[in-house]
Amino acid sequence: MRTPIEDYAMIGDCRTAALVGKNGSIDWLCWPTFDSDACFAALLGGQSNGFWLITPHDGIKSVTRSYRHDTLILETTFETETGKITVIDFMLPHGKSSDLIRIVRGDEGEVPVCMELVLRFGYGAAMPWVTRLEDGTMRAVAGPDMTVLRTPARFRGENFKTVAQFTLARGQTMPFVLSYGPSHLDAPEPVDAEKAVELCEKFWRDWTAKTNTEGPYSDAIERSLITLKALVYMPSGGIVAAPTTSLPERFGGERNWDYRLCWLRDATLTLLAMMNAGIYDEAAAWRDWLQRAVAGSPDEMQIMYGLRGERRLTEWEIDWLPGYADSRPVRIGNAAHEQFQLDVYGELMDAFEQSRKGGLAATAEGWEMQKTLLTHVCKIWDKPDSGIWESRGPTRHYVYSKVMAWVCFDRAIKAVEHHKLDGDVEAWRKIAGEIHADVCAKGFDPERNTFKAAYDGTDLDASLLLLAQTGFIEPSDPRFRGTVEAIEQALLRQGFVMRYNTHRTDDGLSPGEGAFLACSFWLCDAYISIGRKDDAKKLFEHLLSIRNDVGLLAEEYEPADKRHQGNFPQAFSHVGLINTAFNLSRGEKPAQQRANGGAGSNRAAGADADPKRAQSPPDLSRREPSSVDR
């Protein structure tokens, strides 16, 4: 039976991540980086495509699991008729190599345990050549890839698997260390598993100690922050949307996309989430990654890039994998990187403005690049585009896209007036006024008192919930209140917000996909903006209730089946959770939070709560744009 998406937990080393099922099986790992080929691909195929299982040999009575407090160390406890064991899973950031470490610990009685390992490189296609070295290490090589397994357990080959059986009593442990290295080099050095777990615990607890998460939702914020940190590709500062590809938006459907890439659209809200929590190093690294990624001609700017800023993200399909729940095709790369999406220019300009407000000093090079982007947006803002949801159909004049074009010029004006940068404010103010008037004339439906998804239709779009947050319109404006109410009527399904309205079924749900979770957090923020805080709190706590048992959220949720859908865990879902939690707990409206750059409210709240954790932004005035790479 296919493991539900919500039954997985994530471990990672800030370069890649693995998904571990409640059954003790690691079914997904791209090694050595998020965008590498998978060596465990059972998630999108079957066991023959690679997995690593550690589980009790006899019948399991119950399974419970959790992360160690303040860490990404996963502990899964299995209770059987004869006792209990706990499997401790983690990857060590800053290790000399990339190491996947599993420690089995006896807790009660005596429990027979079995281990099965199947390595298949190249997304489950390439069977490696396996040899046993003189020191007992198992080495597996296929082309450029090599892994070595070190363990005191006695293992053997059986039916193209590596297997082991052993029994643990209370207080006994059995470590397994699987390390990756290029096949043309020597095998990675041995790792002391017990020492490694101490180092991993210290890494995460030192990091979380620097965050500011006070308030009634501190635990949920912290777990989402750790998840977000784990999705940062540490060498470059880029943040992947998710560590997976092709987990379907609808089971059995074709809307399966590769999310192991970095989207510009996520920039502003991600920065706010980080600065709200006092995480300035990661915020600065993300800002610097953005600046490097988009450097060049503005007419060549993409909506997404690779981990290191790569531009060629060619989409292709894996025909030997059937996909999760037979959801074909399995896609690698993303053709949407070639689309024209107008809103990303506004997201980029807003991200840089938020970084300035948060105390991350601008560079002369960065401001010159932004002014060049403005010149380009002057020429293209009135063109149709593919929109925030990356439609692969005809381009349209999307309202949110036009609003974000307005944001470009609004944030440029603020950069001059508030931060003493140079620029033609009068010219920018003129074009901002033209865009604003155009949107209000063509994108607003006076009969229904709501903004529309696009100029040429009557349909609605959840991105309209962000209009007040961006500053395009005041939250108190009847047109915004009317838009919120129209979206409640048209897009709210069983307590969740759909991105847009496709064909309805008898139960009122779209057959095309589940509810895009970020949109429901946007409705929470809109409620706060218009003074409906009780409604916001009720919806937010409803959203918290659908997190899985270790606090993770996918891209989408299917209310009818109570199933997570789409790539997992999804950075944008957790960014939404963080920002909404801060909006609720700190008494700020989303537009005010954005106006303050996140960091301002963070310092104010922290000063009254915990002086040790209420940190002002560091002095980054001398920070070089590429410093994160050193």
Q: Which two tokens stand for residue 571?
A: 């950075």
Nearest to 257 by CA among 198, 323, 309: 323
**Contact yes or no for 515/498 (Cβ under 8 A):** yes
pLDDT at 512: 64
pLDDT at 446: 98
Radius of gyration of the chain (CA): 25
Structure confidence by residue, pLDDT tens digits, 10-64: 999 999 999 999 999 999 999 999 999 999 999 999 999 999 999 999 889 999 9
pLDDT at 95: 72
Q: Is 596 helix (H, G, I), strand (E, B) or coil?
A: coil
Interhelix angle 517-529/571-586, rounded to 10 degrees, is 20
Q: Is 190 helix (H, G, I), strand (E, B) or coil?
A: coil
Cα→Cα distances 370→49, 156, 361, 363, 413, Å = 46, 59, 14, 11, 12
Any bridge partners for residue 99, and if so which? 179
Does pLDDT of 586 surpass 90? no
Cα→Cα distances 122→39, 91, 139, 320, 544, Å = 6, 21, 17, 11, 36
**Contact yes or no for 281/349 (Cβ under 8 A):** no
Nearest to 12 by CA among 93, 120, 94, 114: 93
Q: Which two tokens stand for residue 471?
A: 């500053």
Spatial separation of the C-alpha atoms in residues 198 and 216, rounded to whole Å? 30
Q: Which residue has the tokens 């023959």?
A: 48
Q: Categorize the per-residue pLDDT at 603 as very low, low, confident or very high, splitting at 50, 70 and 90.
A: very low
Q: Which two tokens stand for residue 250?
A: 């609808």
Structure confidence by residue, pLDDT tens digits, 199-229: 999 999 999 999 999 999 999 999 999 999 9
Q: Which residue has the tokens 């539900």?
A: 4
- What is the CA angle 71-62-230, rounded to 5? 20
Q: Categorize the per-residue pLDDT at 502 as very low, low, confident or very high, splitting at 50, 70 and 90.
A: low
In this structure, which amino acid lies at residue 165?
Answer: Q
Q: Which two tokens stand for residue 548?
A: 């899985």
Section 554-582 average pLDDT: 96
**Contact yes or no for 565/554 (Cβ under 8 A):** yes
Tell me which of 508 and 86 has the higher pLDDT: 86
pLDDT at 501: 81
- What is the CA angle 175-176-182, rounded to 5? 145
Does pLDDT of 601 surpass 70? no
**Contact yes or no for 429/437 (Cβ under 8 A):** no
Q: Categorize the per-residue pLDDT at 484 as very low, low, confident or very high, splitting at 50, 70 and 90.
A: very high
CATH of region 207-613: 1.50.10.10
Chain length of the chain: 630
**Contact yes or no for 18/126 (Cβ under 8 A):** no
pTM recorded for the entire structure? 0.93
Q: Categorize the per-residue pLDDT at 196 as very low, low, confident or very high, splitting at 50, 70 and 90.
A: very high
In this structure, which amino acid lies at residue 141?
Answer: V
User: 5-196 adopts what CATH topology?
Assistant: Beta-galactosidase; Chain A, domain 5 (2.70.98)
pLDDT at 619: 39
Spatial separation of the C-alpha atoms in residues 511 and 508, rounded to whole Å? 9
Torsion of CA 575, 578, 581, 583, to 10 degrees: -70
**Contact yes or no for 348/267 (Cβ under 8 A):** yes
Structure confidence by residue, pLDDT tens digits, 259-311: 999 998 888 889 889 988 999 889 899 989 998 999 888 889 999 999 999 99
Q: What is the mean pLDDT of the chain?
A: 91
Residue 433: phi, psi to the nearest 5? Answer: -65, -40
Task: State the CB neighbour count (10 A cutoff) for residue 206.
Answer: 10
Nearest to 129 by CA among 117, 147, 116, 115: 147
Spatial separation of the C-alpha atoms in residues 532 and 529, rounded to whole Å? 8
Nearest to 4 by CA among 613, 441, 564, 623: 564
Tell me which of 298 and 144 has the higher pLDDT: 144
Percent residues over pLDDT 70 in the chain: 92
Does pLDDT of 611 surpass 70? no
- Which residues, 6+ apart, have CB-to-CB distance to 489 below 8 Å? none
Does pLDDT of 409 surpass 90? yes
pLDDT at 597: 64
pLDDT at 272: 86
Spatial separation of the C-alpha atoms in residues 481 and 331, rounded to whole Å? 40
Percent residues over pLDDT 90 in the chain: 80
Q: Is 216 helix (H, G, I), strand (E, B) or coil?
A: coil
pLDDT at 12: 98
Structure confidence by residue, pLDDT tens digits, 375-401: 999 999 999 999 999 888 899 999 999
Section 522-551 average pLDDT: 97
**Contact yes or no for 45/27 (Cβ under 8 A):** no
Spatial separation of the C-alpha atoms in residues 57 and 115, rounded to whole Å? 9
Task: State the CB neighbour count (10 A cutoff) for residue 2.
Answer: 11
Structure confidence by residue, pLDDT tens digits, 308-341: 999 999 999 999 999 999 999 999 999 999 999 9
Q: Where are the domains positioned within the chain? A: 5-196, 207-613
Spatial separation of the C-alpha atoms in residues 230 and 239, rounded to whole Å? 9
